[in-house]
Structure 1
């Protein structure tokens, strides 16, 4: 079957190819209503499908953005991605999702792939190891927005939680319930922005509340070692009374340890986590959390990137901090 061309549509509609092109690109403010309706009818009759690849090359726009996530298994990242997709879909943009697994080489390959596909912009959860690559994009004024992380040497706008405040809310909730020996667990390496900032917030809050301080109460561990590290801490001569899970994957590992060792929460170990997993309110006992507005962060990043693509957003390097929300439930209340 012969492919229908823009020339075929123009001939049938009795107009020029440039008029058809203007119609397809939405530039028909001054086009007669009768002409628009006639073109619309002919396109339907001929079942014409514009060659979007050719059009994008001509316009130097692909209406496609890339999103590089650190780890799609985080509930936060899943929610962020959904919000980005919603905003982009409403705005006529397509999304390519990349899961970098916090692997710098994988991240680099994804950046190169997205650029080869001529995406109009990138939303990324960057690693500092690819600083040079991101710097090159920034210097080219390539539309770029960071989520959950910042790179101090690059003035790229970023959307992320007030991580220090989130950790302080966790410590404050436990301290207000009478706990003095509070530990925190996060994933290693603790070099990403949220992990570092949450540890800083924890240490500041322990000092402000004049709580017991012990270097062993700060655990940074790979996922596969968390069970062992937590067991060693809880079996030590001076175990903590309460524990902060710095993200949802860490919380899952803690809950596994609690179940396997028949620990009672909060009697044996009080618990609070940063992030709001879907099961927090139906778990027994219900889990206290400090939630971050993932959908708002994702939507904000997508809207900002589209503004950058359109040349509307002129400010450089603005860091947008979002407020954490304490959700008090049974796991942090002293038995």
Structure 2
């Protein structure tokens, strides 16, 4: 089949090629309504598809951004990505989503692949182990924003939760309800992942502020596949914790599986608070008390910050921003 060109559209609509070009690039504020209608009908009748590559070369922009997430399985991640996509679509950008699985090699591959595809900028949930690559992008003034995590000494704008405050809210609520032996479980901190490290620090700080001892055996980090074993180890202690803070949604799921499999009662046998307000928390029996993150606001702000950088606007007020967590009290404590 013959490829339909912009000239064919112009001839069919009885307008100039430049008028069609203005229409395709949405520069039609002063264009008559019947002209727009004729061009739209010509495009539909002829089945015209714009040449995206040619358009990108001309405009020096692909109108696309890459989003490299650490782990797509997190409820937090899917909600943030949805907000990013919504914000980008409203600005006529499309998104390419890549899942790094917390693997620095996969992250490096995706950064290089997306840049080769000439995306206009990147939003990264960084593994933290590609410092040279991050610095190269900074030196090249390439638009990039970090979400959910920071990387020490890399001055890329980062947007995330106040993780210290998140743990503090949880510990304070446990104490208000009369609990003293409080533990925390989170996923592995081997790669120094910001929220995991900060939530443990926040827990320890809050315990000290409440005059409670920090017991090393009450602080557990492990791969998500080993969370249930961590639970078993905790509950076998001579004085096991009365309450557990789940460091993220994947940890909470594993804790609830363990509780069900071993016939434990919440909160009678074990009080639980989860960081991340997962969708099932409100209708699980008993309903789970959580520390909620404003996921959609985080994603929206991240997208806005990147688009400002792409358009070479000041992003000072968007750099290193932390959102406040919210305690949602339910029945698990």
TM alignment of 1:150-299, pairs within 5 A: 150-189=150-189, 191-299=192-300
Whole-Å Cα distance in 2 between the matches of residues 32 and 169 of structure 1? 58
> Where does the alignment leave 5 or more consecutive residues of structure 2 unmatched?
none
Q: In the alignment, what sits opposite 1:22? A: 22
> Are the equivalent residues in 1 in contact too, given 2:189–2:197 (CA < 8 A)?
no
Shift of 1:327: 0.6
TM alignment of 1:43-192, pairs within 5 A: 43-189=43-189, 191-192=192-193
Whole-Å Cα distance in 2 between the matches of residues 15 and 260 of structure 1? 71
Q: Give TM-score scaled by structure 2 length.
A: 0.94
Shift of 1:176: 0.7
| Distance change >3 Å, CA 39–CA 257, structure 1 → 2 | closer
Q: In the alignment, what sits opposite 1:320? A: 321
> Are the equivalent residues in 2 in contact too, given 1:154–1:317 (CA < 8 A)?
no
Shift of 1:263: 1.2
SS, match of residue 128 in structure 1: coil
> Are the equivalent residues in 1 in contact too, given 2:305–2:318 (CA < 8 A)?
no
Whole-Å Cα distance in 2 between the matches of residues 231 and 35 of structure 1? 71
> Are the equivalent residues in 2 in contact too, given 1:155–1:316 (CA < 8 A)?
no
> Are the equivalent residues in 2 in contact too, given 1:83–1:299 (CA < 8 A)?
yes
| Distance change >3 Å, CA 317–CA 330, structure 1 → 2 | closer
> Are the equivalent residues in 2 in contact too, given 1:145–1:305 (CA < 8 A)?
yes
> Where does the alignment leave 5 or more consecutive residues of structure 1 unmatched?
none
| Distance change >3 Å, CA 224–CA 29, structure 1 → 2 | closer
Q: C-alpha deviations, 1:204-226, integer Å up to 9, x for none?
A: 00000001321111101112222
| Distance change >3 Å, CA 222–CA 3, structure 1 → 2 | same
> Are the equivalent residues in 2 in contact too, given 1:155–1:317 (CA < 8 A)?
no
SS, match of residue 316 in structure 2: coil
Q: C-alpha deviations, 1:220-253, integer Å up to 9, x for none?
A: 1112222222212211112111110010100111
Which 4+ stretches in 1 moved above 6 angstroms?
A: none
Shift of 1:316: 7.9
SS, match of residue 81 in structure 2: helix
Whole-Å Cα distance in 1 between the matches of residues 292 and 39 of structure 2? 51
Q: In the alignment, what sits opposite 2:304? A: 303
Shift of 1:36: 4.9
> Are the equivalent residues in 2 in contact too, given 1:272–1:288 (CA < 8 A)?
yes
> Are the equivalent residues in 2 in contact too, given 1:198–1:246 (CA < 8 A)?
yes
| Distance change >3 Å, CA 282–CA 27, structure 1 → 2 | closer
> Are the equivalent residues in 1 in contact too, given 2:68–2:99 (CA < 8 A)?
yes
> Are the equivalent residues in 2 in contact too, given 1:189–1:222 (CA < 8 A)?
no
Whole-Å Cα distance in 1 between the matches of residues 32 and 277 of structure 2? 54
What is the aligned length? Answer: 332
> Are the equivalent residues in 2 in contact too, given 1:155–1:318 (CA < 8 A)?
no
